[in-house]
Structure formats: C-alpha cells, structure tokens
Structure 1
Amino acid sequence: MAKGKVRRRARKILGEEPVALVWCEIHKPIPTPPKDLHRAAGKGRLKSRHHWLWYAGAVVFFFVVVPMILIGNLGRRHDQRPSGRSRGRSRDRDRGQDPANGLFDGDWNLTAGQLLLRWYGYSPSPKRLVMLTRDRIYVAASPRRRLAPTKADDFRTVMEFTLGQARIEGEAGQPRGYATFRLAFADGSWLEMGRLGEPEDADHFLRTVSG
C-alpha cells in the first residue's frame, strides 16, 4: 500500500482523505498522431525520457548482442522467410485495423486524444497517480523522471474532473499484473490505463469503481 507520505500529500492536495488512489501508466505505446494536431498541441514528447543507463544498455545490445543473434540464426531465418513475410503482413493488417492500438478511442480532437498529446508535458515519467474523492477524479504526476510510487511525495495535480466530466470504468478481481481501467470522458472519448502499482491500492481502487 502507498506509504504514509504519499497519503499525506494526497490529503494535502485534495483537502480530504481520498476514497481510493492508485499509481498507473499508459501501458501501450502512444500512436503517432496527425502532424497538424501534434503541432497545434505544442509538439510535445510522445515517449518517456529514459535514464542514461538505458541508452548505454541499448548500445551494447544493438552492437554486440544483435550481431551475434543474426549470425547464429541467419540460415534458419532464410529458410523461414516466406512464412515470416506472411506473418508480417498479418501484423500490418491488424495494426491497420486498430490505429489507436487499443489505447484510446482514436479521435485526437476529443479529451482523451488531447490528453495523450500532452501526457509527457506533465511529467517525463509515464506514471500517474489517479485519486478519487466522492465527487471528483484527480490525476497527479511527479516532475521526476524516475520515482518510487510508494514513496513519491512531490506529485502535483495535472488534471481534475467532476463526475459529470469523466468517470472510471473498471472491473474488480482482474489478474494481478494485467489489470486495467478506463478513464471515460463525457464527450465519448476514453483512455485505457494499466500497470497498476501496489496490489492493495489497485484492488481497492478497482473494487471502488466497479461497485
């Protein structure tokens, strides 16, 4: 469960005890938006900023590990090339049928799409803290790139919605590690969230929104 400092910070921001809260993330890559809409929204970053160690690891992987894999499997890949092309075309068709990648409703002009366009403008980290009160939904973020969700106490509210503007859609009893919920807006748009942090918080949050 979220540590005391997180809950104290939440109470300070909300002015009351939250009914439920949970750390979560956008658990799929943000699709590429139309260039004109991205430009109009300020051309914000659509990917998280990685720590320098991630880039170092990527360099080692691509220049050391990948060549070894390619050399070792060159013959086998050559033999399987026809079926590989077929599977690739199938994956392309699947992606073409769902350009939003199941992440949101697909309309960049509505609330969810506009939120995605500004997501990393609020924080370089993909993590967000969703807090519920009796009549509002709050989404908070930390200015840090890397944070421990159980201990972070520097988050601030970046979005606030009344229950007439947005609602949470989720089901209780989802498998740990795969649980998701939707932030659904009054204009019909929606955004799916996953990677829910802290099992006790996640279970309580989902029970609350599904009740």
Structure 2
Amino acid sequence: MAPRRKQHNSAERLGIHIEAGEWCTIDAIPRPPADVYAAAGNPRLRPGRVPALGMIGAVLKAPFIPIALLLGLLAAMEDSVMRSLAPKGERTRLRAKSTDERTRRRAVADEYGLDRVFDGNWHGDAGQFLLDWYGHSPHHQRLLLATPEGIVLAAPPRRVSVGREKHMRVVARLPVTEAALVDPFAGEFATTTLLIRFRDGSWLRVETEEPRSALHMHALRRPSPDG
C-alpha cells in the first residue's frame, strides 16, 4: 500500500478528514532552564526506547529499501550522470546554479535559525508545546495531519518499531487560528523541513519523511496564523 494511502487510512480510522498528511520527526529537545523545566512538571525530553522484539522485527525488514528512498537514489544518480555527460559550458552553468542554490538555502536557514529545533523562547507557544511533545506520546514520530480546522498530530501511545499505523491515536490538536504549517524555503528547494508556526510568531521545526511532500504543497497554499 502506498504511504500516502496509509496516511489517509489512518486518518479515516481516527475520524479525521485531512487535506494532507506525512510522518515527521523533531530534533533532540534541548534542556530547558531549570525553572521552566520544573514549572512544566519535569516532562520527558527524549523518546522511549524501542522494545527488544520490535528491534528484531525492524532488522528483519531492513533489507527492503523503501520505494521513496530508492527513487531518490536513482534520481540523484541520474542527475550525476546527466551532469557528467553535459558539455563543458553546461557543466559550469549547473555547478554555478547548484552553488547559488546552496548559498540561498543557507541564507534562509540562517535567517530562521533552522539549526535549532525551535525558536528558542521556552515561554512562547512553540516552546510550551515542545515541552509536552513526548508527554503526549514517547514515540519518536508523529503523523502530522493538515485539516480544514488546523493541525492534528497522531502517534502510537508507546514507541513501536513496526505497525505504527495500527496503534494510532490523536495526541494534539492546533486550531487554524493558533498555528499553521510553513515552508521556510517557500517551495524553492526540495527539502524535508517544515515549520509549525504559532500565532505569537514562535515556531517548531519538523522533518518529514519525504522531501517536498503533500504537506509542503499544503503549506504553500495556506496563509500563516498571523496573516
């Protein structure tokens, strides 16, 4: 079954009508200041461990390369071959274009501070939401669903290595008036990076399993919560 179909099936089982969905992860949560951490009730800051039997199952499945990853590798190989076969002048132009794209991407990343998992303000909406991330579920991934009403995050109630769709439950809801998905690169680059941007301007960075996913396309069509 195609990944996108699985995501829609999971949403249907939860009774949610979605416009787009994708599995995502976050970077390691930094240690908050002691007073912030205590005020939040000393929440979990790391995902749970994978059960031993689950790890064995994951190893048994490892030889099968995901189609998306395989297609990505083939596309990269094709691009490399085409570059090598291009005339010298064209190769120079392609190298210059690639360098220019990397420069622009770094500039946007620096502007947003995308080397961080969130904007850094623990008292902002994003920081407070991040403190509850693993309290909602110790699973390391979230199924991020864009709905007409806003954003829904779903996950298994415990960390699993296989069968994540079977144990799905809603762990958080963000109304469209409070948060929205933003592609910080405005669709210019095929990246896995998305921001959950909150009404107060704070943001949380997530990484989708696939670059330029349906969620990226959705983010480009919808305005941010602050207009």
- Map Cα deviations across residues 102-142 of structure 1 (whole Å, 9 max, x no partner): 21111111211112111111111220111011232111121
- The SS at the match of 2:36 is helix
Counterpart of 1:23, as a letter, is W
| RMSD (CA atoms) | 2.7
Q: Is 1:138 matched up with 2:148?
A: no
Q: Residue 168 of structure 2 corresponds to which residue in structure 1?
A: 155
Aligned position for 2:8: 7
- Aligned pair count reads 159
**Unmatched tracts of structure 2, length 5 or more:** 53-111, 222-227
Alignment of 1:20-169 (within 5 A): 20-26=20-26, 28-51=27-50, 102-148=116-162, 152-169=165-182
Alpha carbons 1:31, 1:99 under 8 Å: kept = no
Between the aligned partners of 2:37 and 2:140, the Cα distance in structure 1 is: 19
Deviation at 1:198, TM superposition (A): 5.0
Q: In structure 1, list runs of 5 or more residues that go unmatched.
A: 54-97
- Counterparts of 2:132 and 2:40, CA distance in 1: 7
**In structure 2, what residue type is equivalent to 1:162?**
P
Q: Shift in Å at residue 101 of structure 1?
A: 5.0
SS of the equivalent of 1:187 reads coil
Residues 173 and 203, structure 1, Cα contact 8 Å, conserved in 2:
no
- Contact conserved, 2:20 with 2:146, CA < 8 A, in 1? yes
Query: Where does 1:132-211 land on structure 2 (aligned, <5 Å)?
Result: 132-148=146-162, 152-170=165-183, 171-172=186-187, 174-175=189-190, 178-194=191-207, 196-198=208-210, 203-211=213-221
AA matched with 2:209: G
For residues 174 and 168 of structure 2, the distance between their equivalents in structure 1, rounded to whole angstroms, comes to: 17
Aligned residues of 2:113 and 2:119 also touching (Cα < 8 A): no
Runs (4 or more) in structure 1 with deviation over 3 Å come to 3-6, 98-101, 171-175
Inter-partner Cα distance in structure 2 for 1:99 and 1:203: 22
Determine helix, strand or coil for the equivalent of 2:177: coil
Distance 1:5 1:21, change over 3 A: closer
Residue 152 of structure 1 aligns to a residue whose secondary structure is helix
- Under a length normalisation based on structure 1, what TM-score does the superposition of the two structures give? 0.66
Q: Cα 1:208–1:23, aligned 2, differ >3 Å: closer, same or farther?
A: same
